């Protein structure tokens, strides 16, 4: 049995290792993400994570466990994915300035035909930002591959006034929820971290 992370995100790889799962493969899903505007943010991230898991599982062994996640930011009912360019990133950050928004991550764990999909939601509050601060942050390049155009674990920490909920969800992988789901598949993260038998 292998554990497969269906993501090329270095942040998700690091969080999986911090959970005690050091032996896993990285096989990013290659399919195009379709942002269905008729879906709520939680429905959208669940659908996208299911899609990624199904794609990667199709090329995996039946006993392999596939972990897939997708994260978006929602403000005023509008879903923000990754910015298209610098101007788009600046618009996103302007919309978040001085406001509270919600970060949603859909999570699917799949083995063969068995799959569990859930989502996590975390409220994040930004301090008011000046146009120069937004420009400077975008110039770091950090926002360009992140939902909502910021990374809380990087320079984006300077923008965040507070959060309510799972911090790791904002990074991109709700590890507490993932640990509970993996346990249903017989993977005990704490046992692995302790060096005991917990699969894989």
Q: Which residues are identified as catalytic?
A: 70
Contact 103, 172 (CB under 8 A): no
| CB proximity list for 12: less than 8 A, separation 6 or greater | 5, 69, 172, 173
| CB proximity list for 177: less than 8 A, separation 6 or greater | 107, 118, 120, 166, 169
Q: Are strands 3-5 and 25-26 parallel, antiparallel or unpaired?
A: parallel
Alpha carbon distance 10, 33 (integer Å): 19
Contact 90, 133 (CB under 8 A): no
Contact 116, 69 (CB under 8 A): no
Rg (CA), the chain: 17
């Amino acid at each position: 049995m292998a554990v497969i992370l269906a993501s090329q995100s270095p942040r998700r790889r690091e969080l999986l290792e911090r959970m005690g799962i050091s032996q896993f493969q990285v096989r990013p899903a290659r399919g195009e993400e379709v942002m269905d505007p008729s879906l709520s943010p939680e429905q959208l991230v669940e659908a996208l994570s299911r899609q990624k898991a199904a794609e990667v599982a199709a090329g995996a062994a039946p006993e392999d466990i596939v972990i897939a996640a997708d994260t978006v930011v929602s403000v005023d009912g509008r879903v923000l994915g990754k910015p298209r360019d610098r101007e788009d990133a600046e618009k996103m950050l302007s919309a978040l300035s001085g406001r509270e928004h919600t970060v949603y991550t859909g999570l699917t764990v799949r083995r063969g035909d068995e799959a569990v999909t859930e989502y996590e939601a975390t409220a994040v509050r930004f301090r008011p930002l000046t146009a120069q601060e937004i420009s400077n942050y975008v110039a770091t390049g950090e926002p360009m591959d992140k939902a909502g155009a910021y990374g809380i674990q990087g320079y984006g920490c300077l923008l965040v006034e507070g959060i309510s909920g799972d911090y790791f969800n904002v990074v991109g992988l709700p590890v507490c929820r993932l640990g509970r789901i993996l346990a249903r598949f017989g993977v005990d993260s704490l046992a692995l971290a302790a060096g005991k038998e917990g699969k894989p």
